[in-house]
Amino acid sequence: MLKLGVNIDHVATLREARYRGCGQGEPDPVAAALIAEAAGAHGITAHLREDRRHIQDRDVWQLRQVIKTRLNLEMANAPEIVGIALRLHPEIICLVPERRQEVTTEGGLDVVGQEQALQATCARMRAAGIEVSLFIVPDPEQVAASARVGAEFIELHTGAYAEHFKDATGRRRELDRLRHAARQAHDLGLRVNAGHGLNYENLRAIHEVPHLVELNIGHSIISRSVTTGLAAAVGDMLALMEGYCG
């Protein structure tokens, strides 16, 4: 069964637009996480950025206390955040690149160029019983490097696929890249997640990509929930994921 991790960052973004620095406010991303979980989500994803632009420290500690599924902490490979992750003890972390000027995470992690640092973090997380995923573009060199540094998972960046979805040639090219990367990762003993830009229009074609364990989706679900409610938005996404035969 293909699992769904719901990213609640955009709930926190909306809260911080009005209540930044207040230590409280609405909407509450933790409450949103509980609704998503009750609606059938298999896990909750939150990105604790170094600049704390949306998710705050109090959010991740509350999430750790209340969710009953699986906490996936997206994070940069930065000493402060690594230390928080080791204390927080999520089930899994996903290491991503961070750029201060971006609105959301753009591009994949350069594992090839950071092997030594990533290997050290993977070893620390493994010793603490925390799984590690690396957010990468579907590139053979990045997949191979992910296996070398000791990650358990990769999360394939589906942004290029989403961007080219309406162009048949581009869609096929990007799906082929994802398929090949997923097969390579599987052969190397890595488990495979995917995410970024997936929505209610482009998700079905992702069923062509083999060996997927989990999709991490946030913006599309939170956007739909504005008009349909969060529980319905999660349920609609789960329905699209049914029948996956990876």
- Candidates 10, 47, 54, 157; catalytic one: 47
Between vectors from CA 26 to CA 24 and to CA 27, what angle results, nearest 5°? 130
> Would you call 196 a catalytic residue per the annotation?
yes
Q: Which of 74, 131, 155, 174 is catalytic?
A: 74
**Cis peptide bond prior to 27, omega within 30° of 0:** yes
Does 74 participate in catalysis according to the annotation? yes
Question: Which of 10, 42, 196, 214 is flagged as catalytic?
Answer: 196
106 is known as an active-site residue = no
Cα 89 to Cα 32, 51, 54, 64: the distances in Å are: 21, 21, 20, 8
Q: What letters, b where the CB count within 10 A reaches 16 and e where it falls short, cover 65-74?
A: eebebbbbbb
Q: What three-state secondary structure class fits 129?
A: coil
- 39 vs 204: CA distance, rounded Å: 20
How far apart are alpha carbons 128 and 10 in whole angstroms? 29
Closest C-alpha to 131, from 57, 42, 71: 71
CA angle 175/198/121 to nearest 5° reads 85
> Any idea which residues carry the catalytic annotation?
47, 74, 196
